[in-house]
Structure 1
């Protein structure tokens, strides 16, 4: 539609001028042609449309008895001037589009490094993921996640939320993920893994920066959780019960361990066949509708009662976006673990 709009504008102006007669002058409106061409066309296409506009102006000026008069000469000069400006605008637009395309390629490469695809199956576990960035056209932000399958300790996962936004938050997320991916294979328990993350962040973060996070380790009939100031996950049992997991030994966010606050302790939660557990960031529960009401995650969690965990999580994300009625104000990550029924 945009590609044909310049020609449609010239034709409409020409027909209108002929029908209106010589008394009303519509010829200056022929500048709409090259103007519209600069929005979607190349520099060459814009020049062609401007030349066409001048070509249409001459016979219409003859029809109106204006050919050779100062008024028509000014109209032609206006069309030529607008065409030149439109060609410059078209050149700048194309250069900007190329720059944005290169930036998008770099962003996608960064996404593959930072938020690489998680394994979707690990033994009797099925894993689903949803990530929605608050930044327009972006695929990465301040929320982070990772799932690793270790030989000695089974499946370990991390979900977190970096304080702040923008490139600084992405940089902090990179530090956390790098430390987790290295330590998850070495540390024998979650407490040691949490200490490794705290030590790593203490070297790189400022005093006022922090990361809320949950570490988890899946065992045969239970899941061990270690919470660093992060929203508690939801447990969906195989018999249809939905509840928020109360973690009594919650600690301060990562990066604030130097304040001397309480250290989190691992907490075991039964996690048997047919059970599911949903980890999420605060961008989910702090999303508001037009009336200011927060998203009622606990009340909507029954959407997850589906055989396919990824389809269920996609439906929950769609319900979240429908609640907000537009783009999310904050990044929102959700990670769903499902233990298959016998």
Structure 2
């Protein structure tokens, strides 16, 4: 409408006759890209009537006076058709996105705010924003052997990565309930992937469990090290014995090891995928997750994760180019009140052992497999 008005003003002021009148066709043509068929028809009708009025005012001859409105009417009809096709495709796209969103919720079930003894917060962003689903995966479930969780990253993107993520999560959710040993859970996933993945496919993952108060178990299969928060210290939990990603054990010939860490009241654990740490800014600098987590530590994990995600988007300029997942656990003190708006129920069985593991101090330099501080190099 604005373009039609500008062209009309220019023609009235300049009195240039046929020089500007054909430009009125740009009005209905542009309307087809943004408006429904009624909007296109309205703009086209206005442009057609104005072309006749301006042609009469400028003294345009009879043949030209008919030709310009005819062209405008043709462009308007084509715009109506294009607008109808676009609207139909938008409806189909909206339906596909709805199906993808439903699939994501089925695949990556958002955990409740409280699971077992933990406060939980999760944020997932797919690189393919239109699909809202990608190759990163996470799950956190209460089992007869304590709360267990997994965060992983499937090699590649697209439907093949989603298919592998579905496989991993399905095996994990079943094995986590059946296997008393966390390494046995990882072994079940490994055997399933060995049967179903190609030679070049693999999944990096961290599998964790909390079998008894004060004791946290970790199995790292080629994944980025989790970040352990104790007080104001943020420490990367490097694997004591590096292991290959899931699906590659037969090629590497190395089995993962079990790390045991003390995990007491007020401690937090952040699991994430490489879409977070490999996000770059305009100067190609990686996002400093450890420093970012130290800046945004709150008693409410939801606030922490939201602040990290907001800072991550600011770092990359508003759009991630890889799937990114963040899962944060916090062990509140027994007498500590729940965060506002959070429930206190657990979502399944949790059987604590009577004895608590000792708590060790943390600094920098990482942890060894028994939960004791490694000596810094």
- In the alignment, is residue 103 of structure 1 matched against residue 96 of structure 2? yes
Picking from 194, 201, 207, the partner of 1:202 is: 194
Unaligned runs of 5+ residues in structure 1 are: 1-5
- In the alignment, is residue 318 of structure 1 matched against residue 302 of structure 2? no
| Inter-partner Cα distance in structure 2 for 1:46 and 1:281 | 46
Q: CA deviation at 1:188?
A: 0.8
- Give runs of aligned pairs for residues 285-296 of structure 1, distance below 5 A: 285-296=277-288
User: More deviation in 71-80 or 307-316?
Assistant: 71-80
Determine the structure 2 residue equivalent to 1:329. 321
Q: CA deviation at 1:67?
A: 4.5
- In the alignment, is residue 183 of structure 1 matched against residue 175 of structure 2? yes
- In the alignment, is residue 244 of structure 1 matched against residue 236 of structure 2? yes
SS at match of 1:80: helix
Determine the structure 1 residue equivalent to 2:54. 60
Unaligned runs of 5+ residues in structure 2 are: 335-377
Q: CA deviation at 1:41?
A: 2.1
Asked if structure 2 preserves the Cα contact closer than 8 Å seen for 1:142 and 1:163, the reply is yes
Asked if structure 2 preserves the Cα contact closer than 8 Å seen for 1:303 and 1:315, the reply is no
| Inter-partner Cα distance in structure 2 for 1:289 and 1:65 | 60
| Inter-partner Cα distance in structure 1 for 2:76 and 2:303 | 51
Picking from 206, 227, 230, the partner of 1:234 is: 227
Asked if structure 1 preserves the Cα contact closer than 8 Å seen for 2:17 and 2:55, the reply is no
Q: So what's the TM-score if we normalise by structure 1?
A: 0.93
| Inter-partner Cα distance in structure 2 for 1:216 and 1:299 | 23
| Inter-partner Cα distance in structure 2 for 1:67 and 1:198 | 82
Determine the structure 2 residue equivalent to 1:20. 14
Determine the structure 1 residue equivalent to 2:23. 29
Q: What root-mean-square deviation, in Å, do the aligned CA atoms of Structure 1 and Structure 2 show?
A: 1.6
For residues 13-48 of structure 1, give each alpha carbon's deviation from its aligned partner in whole angstroms, at most 9, with x where no partner exists. Answer: 223222212467321122122112212222243233
Determine the structure 1 residue equivalent to 2:263. 271
Change (3 A) 1:66 1:96: same
Asked if structure 1 preserves the Cα contact closer than 8 Å seen for 2:228 and 2:268, the reply is yes
- In the alignment, is residue 91 of structure 1 matched against residue 91 of structure 2? no
| Inter-partner Cα distance in structure 2 for 1:277 and 1:23 | 73
- In the alignment, is residue 78 of structure 1 matched against residue 74 of structure 2? no
Q: So what's the TM-score if we normalise by structure 2?
A: 0.84
Q: CA deviation at 1:305?
A: 1.8
Asked if structure 2 preserves the Cα contact closer than 8 Å seen for 1:58 and 1:67, the reply is no
Q: CA deviation at 1:309?
A: 0.7
| Inter-partner Cα distance in structure 2 for 1:136 and 1:242 | 31
For residues 85-137 of structure 1, give each alpha carbon's deviation from its aligned partner in whole angstroms, at most 9, with x where no partner exists. Answer: 21221122112101101111110111111111113212431011111211133
For residues 224-265 of structure 1, give each alpha carbon's deviation from its aligned partner in whole angstroms, at most 9, with x where no partner exists. Answer: 00111111101110x322111122123211111221521012
Determine the structure 2 residue equivalent to 1:3. none
For residues 55-77 of structure 1, give each alpha carbon's deviation from its aligned partner in whole angstroms, at most 9, with x where no partner exists. Answer: 22112111111141x33333223
Determine the structure 1 residue equivalent to 2:110. 117
- In the alignment, is residue 43 of structure 1 matched against residue 60 of structure 2? no
Determine the structure 2 residue equivalent to 1:128. 121
| Inter-partner Cα distance in structure 2 for 1:62 and 1:241 | 80
For residues 153-205 of structure 1, give each alpha carbon's deviation from its aligned partner in whole angstroms, at most 9, with x where no partner exists. Answer: 11000000000111111111011111111111111111110111111112211
Q: CA deviation at 1:326?
A: 3.0
Change (3 A) 1:79 1:322: same
| Inter-partner Cα distance in structure 1 for 2:166 and 2:73 | 53
